[in-house]
Amino acid sequence: MKIEVGKREGYTTFYDPPKKVFILTNPQGIDVAVSPSQEQVEKQIPDLVKQALKLPVAGFMQQYGKWQTGRITSVNIGDRTAWFSFDDKTRRHAEKVYLDRSGIHAITPKNQTVIEKIQEHERHIVDLNNQIALLKADLEMPINREYFEGAHESAEH
């Protein structure tokens, strides 16, 4: 009879008293490690998770208004976070992200095409905003504090 003694990242550690060993099972319930030491079997969890998830996973992520490529190098299923390592090393090397709202997408030919279209539209938005700013600069007689201060002074005279 096995006794559950721990659970982490989907893996469960059991103790088997008759055999005096610890058994680590994967999320599917398959025994993946056996040792007389609980520490020894649980020490294997990070590598097993990485193998199961086929890490690293290449992806796109938009950060600071720029699409960047990188890789998810580790995942913590328990708290739904991952580490994203950027290919562009001029910025921060890696960042912890929340998987549910990271906006990371796999690098695929379709995604590359979509991102190129997004970037083209974003350039148009920048151009339009610049044109709008120039038009706003051509507006005359703003009604602000100085407008009323000038009107007040001219009314006194």
pLDDT at 16: 94
Residue 151's pLDDT is what? 65
**Binning pLDDT at 50, 70 and 90, where does residue 95 land?**
confident
Asked if 102 and 153 count as a contact pair (C-beta separation under 8 A), the reply is no
- At 126-144, the pLDDT tens digits run 999 999 999 999 999 889 9
What pTM was estimated for this model as a whole? 0.56
The per-residue pLDDT for 157 is 53
Q: How many CB atoms lie within 10 A of CB 25?
A: 19
d(CA 17, CA 29): 19
Look at residue 13 in the predicted model and tell me its pLDDT.
95
Please name which of 48, 54, 98 lies closest in space to residue 78, comparing C-alpha atoms: 98
Q: What is the pLDDT of residues 25-41, one digit of tens each?
A: 988 788 888 999 999 99
Mean pLDDT of 3-16: 92
d(CA 93, CA 71): 11
Q: Give the C-alpha separation, 137 to 132, whole Å.
A: 9
**pLDDT bracket for residue 46 (50, 70, 90):** confident
